[in-house]
Structure 1
Amino acid sequence: MRWAAAALSLVMLFGAAFAFGHRYAPRHVLPATLTYSSMLAAMQQGRVDSIAIVPGHEILGWWATPVAGERAFRVTYSTTDIEGLIQRAEAAGVDITFRAPLSGGLDYTNVAISVVLLMAVAVLVRRQMTGGQGGGTDLGRTSQSSTTFGNVAGNEGAVTELREIVEFLKTPEKFARVGARTPKGVLMFGPPGTGKTLMARAVAGEAGVPFWSISGSEVTGFIVGLGVMRIKSLFKKARKSGGVIFIDEIDALGGRRGRNQSHNEDDRTLNQLLIELDGFSPTDGVVVIAATNRAEDLDPALMRPGRFDRSVSVSLPSASEREAILRLHAAQRRVPLETGVDLGRLARLMPQTSGADLANLLNEAAIVAARHGTDEVEWTHIESARDRLLLGKERSGFRASDREWRIVAMHEAGHALAGVRWCPEDGLHKVTIQPRGQAMGVAFFSPDSDQHLHSRRYLEGQILKGLGGRAAEQVVFGPDAITSGARSDLQHVTRIAKEMVYNLGMGASTGLMIYDSSTGPVSGELHAAMDREVRTIIDGLYVRAVETMVTHRAALEALGEALLEQETIDGPDAVRIMERHGLTGPAGAAA
């Protein structure tokens, strides 16, 4: 049926195009145009046989003998004073006739047919976009979810909140007896890939109710009234059977009204959503769950009580939660892990990653294992997959001069030395000069646990670690030989220093105030003072980084030379190399 409607739409569209083309297409090819003086000269020479005058418009003429294969010509003649022209034509023996101007009226029959055909096409296209007679039957996809909370690992706080929603759906009378009102809506917000959609499916699966799924971008559109119609249809169907309505990317639908002054169809759609949220009662057995990565962009009207009553934060998992997620994915996908694979260690090596990132990591590791023809996923496969995801594909054909490789080796050794000296709690995992993606080398660190509060000493240690590469280049090769390899390092340390001054109140001369978009603009003088403070922090720590490289130059060069020989060195081995060449204990743990 949908194919037939599409075919009919095309036929009608071509019909409308033909009608317009037939009405407005030129009827003939216009003859060549002459100037008025050229025509008079041709008449005096006896070359013109006859003319037809269209007063106020033009003169059409015919040659006595064809000129360049043409029999006719035309002259633009906008004046109505034709007495002089008539006298000249009669004197030259040219026949004269008169014609009325062509009618400028429209062919109303063709226009009417065209309008009707185009309206029919618009109606058919709109019906296709809304799913035919049902007004959106394909928009809200429904299914009986088989997902449960057993398929969810991590985010125990969010899961606890959602378990209560399951109780509302399964036993609403228990809450009604004590006068409790069932939440109408739950907003889940957090970074991408943290499992918001999975949790929404688990709510429907645990409660044994239908799961209606829709994306906010599917609802909005430029056809007037289409978004409103889709929202009405979705809630009408959900009321009949009950269940969970899941709206993904609700920021595309529920953004602050008035953002786009030239087009307010999105605002009307949001208004209809608010009406629907106000309109259904707890006895309908419907709960709306929405997900977004940008909660700050939502219209405040969505968040008032009686609409989205609850907000559930779905954050990036901790180290223990990452381990649980890895175990769950390995079991669900039946990934055969070698006995020596330590998923707890892998979880610590993947800080600030989502469940989707971890699932992708295991999948990439399985691909590497299959590529090598093994029946089990080994630790080396996981390391290779991790490096690929974090840094990019290995550049096996990359070529550089011996001097450049030596600079890279000393640069990465500098990062490792500064990290071990000033950030011992981060833990050096490995150092490599194997080029991947845009990097020619990297020093990996893996903290033993997630750190939620960062002291000034810790942040300064991160800056020192970032400056270690440039400092090593300066100490080993001289200040005139520093390279562009430290660009990303300098960007990183600048961000940390700005965070310290602008948002954490750690600037010595700028005090405890915080300066961000929420506090409004600051004076030019204060802004300059903050920038000077940022530079003071970076410059002072760079001096300390250079002193560290000078003091432990033997350890620095020993690790650099070892990298040139081995290319990749594990963290414990790198620390032992530096300790054998004079590196003492850490300068102090960053609390």
Structure 2
Amino acid sequence: MNKKTNKNDESNNKNKKWKFGVAYIVAVFGLIMLFNYGRSALYTKQITYDEFITLLDNKQIQEVSITRDKISIEPKKDTSYGNKVLYTANIGDKDLVQNLKASGVKFSGPLASNPLLLEILISWIGPLLFLLLIGRLMFGKIDKKMGGGVMSFGKNTAKLYAEDQTGLTFKDVAGQEEAKESLKEIVDFLHQPQKYTQIGAKLPKGALLVGPPGTGKTLLAKAVAGEAHVPFFSLSGSDFVEMFVGMGAARVRDLFKQAEEKAPCIIFIDEIDAIGKSRDNTMSSNDEREQTLNQLLSEMDGFDATKGVVILGATNRPEILDKALLRPGRFDRRVIVDRPDLKGREDILKVHSRDVKMGGEVDLTSIAKATPGAVGADLANMVNEAALRAVKQGRNEVIQEDLEEAVEVIIAGKEKRDRIMSDKEKRIVSFHEVGHALVAALLKNTDPVHKITIVPRTMGSLGYTLQLPDEEKYLVSKEEMMDQITVMLGGRAAEEVEFKSISTGASNDIERATQTARNMVTMYGMTEEFDMMALESMSSRYLDGRPVQNCSAKTAARIDEVTLEIIKECHKRAINILNDNRALLTKISERLLEKETLLGEEFMSIVREDKDALEENTNTVLQ
């Protein structure tokens, strides 16, 4: 069935090329005929025999050429005909020669050498060659821009890296040890196929790299090719999508044909979801994309795995891929390239800092701890930002301060020193940020405060409180989530306690607190009301992770009520904590107003001093 389909597609392509060639030839001949007609109309003019005799009698003719059918007349310059060559029919006038002699006109008959070849050369062959040359130059430019000429839409546009030209190996990839382990077997199979084939093992036809943007999926694919020392075809899923139906399928066929010729080799299709979307949704059907996907499926079934052709695909939306594409025998393995853990982030920072001059006191472990959730691209950007800052400060090496500032630039933006706030606004922001920090310090299940600042940042914040975890966490308890929400609402609570009014500064806190509380209700089963009932599911896990509701409107209304109850409880709790520590809130806020930035150690020393003094006073009263 597949062979028959391929033959039909090839036949259709040949027909298209034949039709285009015929149309092109017709257009060229049409232009030549138009050229000849225009030339004839511009330089020649037909007149009647009577007009010819009148010109002859008036001696306005300079020369005449007589042929069997036609008389060509060259008038004198002073006539109204100008430089045009006139012609009229030869009617066989017996007295014509005598009249020409009487008027003193030069005349001649047909030339011995036939000028027909010269006429054909000037009128047809010359313009034809000129138009073909112009067409070749024009189509050559289209070839460069489109990766294939007008006559080769179905040609493969993949960028081919020859052996050792990717310039990357597994040493250049850090923080993805599990993913590398899954791909090392493919590399080993390409190196020593007999070791596997002797016990009947087959080379996996394909591996799908799945993970969030920036985690290193493309980097891993290039490292596999660099380790295997085989040709590497690299292209994007959108490269197959064309305006003309059937062109994408033709490119798929051409790609696999070239891959089999260069086997063993690796084909890497980045963003494979561009052509691999599920065909279930017929409402948004696209004939070109579906034909391309069908051709890709048939090619993956058709090629011989023993030849050493491996297909690597990359996507961050695996949930929308067609099930036929994901089944074993096509993509045999799904390799998860997820966000790195603490050790992974530290290894990534070491890889990206290899070519950067680092100071002796640089501590990459602390930077790794300060960047939970960061991917490889984020960490590479941080190292580069630190290097740029070092140059700006006039240093020839990067120090710890540069890296810490780079982390804050990525998180909150650059400092905006030119934004001048009034004393009243500064005081509100100071109490707001200290409210977050103080609630975090006085609760049990929270991350330590690393920094408090009221210096505005370019991403819109007038100040922020930075908390960093002591260790990597993979599970979060209900108590920890309740404390997180309480900390988020601590800023607004501090405004209420100190100023008895509220401002717009808590908008982001409210948004995050609401989302966390809703997740407790709908996804984590942390309320008695709904027990362990799943009310929302996560879509696009590796992108925005937006939840999709799976309940009735009545249940959704109750979800809102339970979420509000959690927020009210945490809000009240934050107010009580700050009311009980009002003096400490004021003391730290005044210090922050004075210095604009407090580091975590200084902040915690003030908190400990106050607690120690409170315990001493309590003991004195008891005695």
> Normalising by the residue count of structure 1, what TM-score does the alignment of the two structures yield?
0.75
Q: Secondary structure at the match of 1:417?
A: helix
Q: Equivalent of 1:264, from 239, 264, 287?
A: 287
Q: Equivalent of 1:129, from 146, 154, 161?
A: 146
CA deviation map 1:357-386 (0-9, x unaligned): 001000000000001110111122112211
Q: Determine if the alignment matches structure 1 residue 293 to structure 2 residue 316.
A: yes
Q: Equivalent of 2:535, from 505, 511, 515?
A: 515
Give the structure 2 partner of residue 461 of structure 1.
483
Is the contact made by 1:422 and 1:464 (CA closer than 8 Å) also made in structure 2?
no
CA deviation map 1:364-421 (0-9, x unaligned): 0000000111011112211221111111122121011101100000000011011112
Q: Equivalent of 2:584, from 510, 532, 555?
A: 555
Q: Determine if the alignment matches structure 1 residue 471 to structure 2 residue 500.
A: no
Output the CA distance in 2 between the equivalents of 1:295 and 1:524: 29
Output the CA distance in 2 between the equivalents of 1:361 and 1:521: 39
Q: Secondary structure at the match of 2:209?
A: strand
User: Offset of 1:268 from its aligned partner?
Assistant: 0.7
Unaligned runs of 5+ in 1: 1-8, 20-116, 586-591
Q: Secondary structure at the match of 1:276?
A: helix
Output the CA distance in 1 between the equivalents of 2:295 and 2:285: 19
Code of the residue aligned with 1:180 in structure 2: it is A
Q: Secondary structure at the match of 1:308?
A: coil
Output the CA distance in 1 between the equivalents of 2:509 and 2:462: 13
Give the structure 2 partner of residue 312 of structure 1.
335
Q: Determine if the alignment matches structure 1 residue 538 to structure 2 residue 567.
A: yes
Output the CA distance in 2 between the equivalents of 1:231 and 1:562: 67
Output the CA distance in 1 between the equivalents of 2:550 and 2:479: 29
Larger radius of gyration: 2
Q: Equivalent of 1:167, from 188, 200, 218?
A: 188
Code of the residue aligned with 2:555 in structure 1: it is L
Give the structure 2 partner of residue 143 of structure 1.
162
User: Offset of 1:227 from its aligned partner?
Assistant: 0.8
Code of the residue aligned with 2:306 in structure 1: it is T
Output the CA distance in 1 between the equivalents of 2:605 and 2:341: 30
Is the contact made by 2:525 and 2:532 (CA closer than 8 Å) also made in structure 1?
yes
Distance 1:450 1:139, change over 3 A: same
Code of the residue aligned with 1:507 in structure 2: it is T
Code of the residue aligned with 1:527 in structure 2: it is A
Output the CA distance in 2 between the equivalents of 1:147 and 1:520: 43
Output the CA distance in 2 between the equivalents of 1:130 and 1:377: 43
Q: Determine if the alignment matches structure 1 residue 359 to structure 2 residue 380.
A: yes
Give the structure 2 partner of residue 448 of structure 1.
470
Code of the residue aligned with 1:497 in structure 2: it is A
Is the contact made by 1:508 and 1:533 (CA closer than 8 Å) also made in structure 2?
no
Q: Determine if the alignment matches structure 1 residue 439 to structure 2 residue 461.
A: yes
Give the structure 1 partner of residue 306 of structure 2.
283
Q: Percent identity?
A: 42
Distance 1:510 1:318, change over 3 A: same
User: Offset of 1:143 from its aligned partner?
Assistant: 3.2
Give the structure 1 partner of residue 197 of structure 2.
176
Q: Determine if the alignment matches structure 1 residue 240 to structure 2 residue 261.
A: yes
Aligned residue pair count: 470
Give the structure 2 partner of residue 428 of structure 1.
449
Output the CA distance in 1 between the equivalents of 2:201 and 2:516: 47
Code of the residue aligned with 1:493 in structure 2: it is A
Give the structure 2 partner of residue 416 of structure 1.
437
Output the CA distance in 1 between the equivalents of 2:428 and 2:192: 68
Is the contact made by 2:445 and 2:479 (CA closer than 8 Å) also made in structure 1?
no
Output the CA distance in 1 between the equivalents of 2:187 and 2:411: 38
Q: Secondary structure at the match of 1:141?
A: strand
Give the structure 2 partner of residue 566 of structure 1.
595
Output the CA distance in 1 between the equivalents of 2:550 and 2:168: 48
Code of the residue aligned with 1:345 in structure 2: it is S
Q: Secondary structure at the match of 2:414?
A: coil
Output the CA distance in 1 between the equivalents of 2:257 and 2:141: 23
Code of the residue aligned with 2:284 in structure 1: it is Q
Output the CA distance in 1 between the equivalents of 2:550 and 2:345: 40
Q: Secondary structure at the match of 1:426?
A: coil
Give the structure 1 partner of residue 513 of structure 2.
493
Q: Secondary structure at the match of 1:271?
A: helix
User: Offset of 1:155 from its aligned partner?
Assistant: 1.5
User: Offset of 1:485 from its aligned partner?
Assistant: 0.2
Code of the residue aligned with 1:169 in structure 2: it is L
Output the CA distance in 1 between the equivalents of 2:445 and 2:526: 22
Give the structure 1 partner of residue 419 of structure 2.
398
Is the contact made by 1:225 and 1:265 (CA closer than 8 Å) also made in structure 2?
yes
Output the CA distance in 1 between the equivalents of 2:222 and 2:595: 49
Give the structure 1 partner of residue 363 of structure 2.
342
Give the structure 1 partner of residue 347 of structure 2.
324
Instruction: Please tell me the root mean square deviation across aligned C-alpha atoms, in Å.
Output: 2.6
Q: Secondary structure at the match of 2:559?
A: helix
CA deviation map 1:253-288 (0-9, x unaligned): 111125463532111111111111111112221100
Distance 1:218 1:463, change over 3 A: same
Q: Secondary structure at the match of 1:157?
A: helix
Output the CA distance in 1 between the equivalents of 2:380 and 2:215: 11
Q: Secondary structure at the match of 1:317?
A: coil
Unaligned runs of 5+ in 2: 1-23, 35-131, 539-547, 616-623
Code of the residue aligned with 1:311 in structure 2: it is R
Q: Equivalent of 2:273, from 246, 251, 266?
A: 251
CA deviation map 1:558-588 (0-9, x unaligned): 1111111111111011111223234889xxx
Output the CA distance in 2 between the equivalents of 1:142 and 1:376: 35
Is the contact made by 2:456 and 2:463 (CA closer than 8 Å) also made in structure 1?
yes
User: Offset of 1:441 from its aligned partner?
Assistant: 0.4
Code of the residue aligned with 1:459 in structure 2: it is M
